Amino acid sequence: MTALKRLFSEGFRIFFLAAGLFAVLAMALWEHWIAAQALGQEAGFPAAAMPQHWHAHEMIFGFGGAALAGFFLTAVPNWTGAKGAPHRFIALVAALWLAGRLALWFSGGLPPGVVALTDLAFAPVLAGQLLEQLIRKPKAQQMILLALLALFWTANLLTHLEWMGLTGTLWAGLRGGLLTLGAMIMVLGGRVTPGFTRNAMVATGRDSRLPRNPAPLAAVSIAASVGVAAGYLAGLPEPVLGGLAVVAGLAGLARVALWRSGWTWDKPILWVLHLSYAANAAGFAMLGLAGLGFGSEIAALHLLGIGGVGGMTLAIMSRASLGHTGRPLVAPRAVALAYALLPLAALLRYLGSAWPEAHDPALLLAGGLWMAAFALFVLRLWPVWWAPRLPRAAAD
């Protein structure tokens, strides 16, 4: 098998590579525009959307969409025992994703309907493949992820409807899309974080004081977070959305408090899961408080987006890339450094939103840390995505 064909042989290879590269490129384009504005200069921007709207859309539906595709195309065959998608299908879905990114960037010279159709084609094709596999062994905890993917697509649709001049739903779509990613972390992160930690503890011979993950608390965090995401799309009143977000955040923080996070301090590939889940939950809680009149909504959204979604995607993408290529589940030093940079970026971006006088410097520094984190991720794992799976003996 050639290296190029291998890149499209499994979903995590091409899509985690694409997510990492796009995380750097899209942020660099946004940082360039911000820096030009701060210096009083004009920066060419070919997208039809306002730069801040393009930035938000592409971080959520561009970067987030690639990370989701890589995860789903890799995890679902493992869950169901079904054969993975053929490389031609993976190449097709990757091409659709890329076409959407190009359509958004050059949308200033394209009809809005064409841009919408191009960008919206990606998720339904992906969902069709996932449904075919999941329906063979349907389980509620897995089918909910397909429902969340549909919610994610609906949020993207709402952004395009406003750009087409049909509705006023841009902000609902952007918030709904980000919060759907946050809800997925409540579901998936709430499953794998305590599970991976428990497995690592048991492997050392420990059989007491293991992570606890009470089902009622999990149900509250998931139901409330999904309710917030769907509520934004449905236009629920702000106090209702705020209350649901606070409940989701507090339930999520209560869950992570039971997962023995302190035990993971010297194991970056584990503590990044705990820290990212906590940042995601804190983002929900702070967003809820902002909706009730306490604090900055933009600051809360960026804490959730950078620390929660960014951190958890980086954690899962790196772990899956190592594990599915037969390599030890130990974060390389460059990747461990990337784990540490994203919380700092989230903190800086939060401070920049909470204190307007520090906005531009904090935003530029936070963006720089984000780019550095994903550049380290791509550079260190680049050979892994192109190379064949290691034999078990080599992995051991």
In whole angstroms, what is the distance from residue 396 CA to residue 265 CA? 23
For the domain that residue 108 is a member of, what is the CATH number?
Answer: 1.20.210.10
pLDDT at 396: 31
Average pLDDT of every residue of the chain:
93
Q: Which of 116-120, 125-129, 136-140, 227-231 has the lowest mean pLDDT?
A: 136-140
- pLDDT of 127 over the 80 cut: yes
- For the chain, percent of residues with pLDDT exceeding 90: 83
- pLDDT of 306 over the 80 cut: yes
Number of domains comprising the chain: 1
Those residues whose C-beta lies under 8 Å from the C-beta of residue 301, and which sit 6 or more positions away, are: 175, 178, 283, 287
- pLDDT of 110 over the 90 cut: yes
- pLDDT of 169 over the 90 cut: yes
Cα 303–Cα 305–Cα 310 angle in degrees, nearest 5: 110
Q: Closest Cα to residue 310, out of 49, 95, 23?
A: 23
- pLDDT of 22 over the 70 cut: yes
Taking residue 295's Cβ as centre, other Cβ atoms within 10 Å add up to 18
Q: Closest Cα to residue 346, out of 280, 256, 295?
A: 280
Confidence band for 392, pLDDT divided at 50, 70 and 90 = low
**One-letter identity of residue 22:** F
Confidence band for 85, pLDDT divided at 50, 70 and 90 = confident
Q: What is the mean pLDDT of residues 340-350?
A: 95
- pLDDT of 395 over the 70 cut: no
Asked if 118 and 99 touch (Cβ cutoff 8 Å), the reply is yes
Taking residue 255's Cβ as centre, other Cβ atoms within 10 Å add up to 25
User: Each residue of 345-366: b (16+ CB within 10 Å) or e?
Assistant: bbbbbbbbbbeeeebeebbbbb
Q: What is the mean pLDDT of residues 196-219?
A: 95
In whole angstroms, what is the distance from residue 233 CA to residue 228 CA? 9
Helices 311-323, 359-386: axis angle to 10 degrees equals 10
> Which domain, by its residues, includes 308?
3-395
Q: What is the mean pLDDT of residues 173-198?
A: 97
User: Each residue of 108-136: b (16+ CB within 10 Å) or e?
Assistant: eebebeebbebbbbbbeebbebbeebbee
pLDDT at 393: 38
More confident residue, 316 or 133: 316
- pLDDT of 227 over the 70 cut: yes
pLDDT at 133: 83
Confidence band for 38, pLDDT divided at 50, 70 and 90 = confident
pLDDT at 79: 83
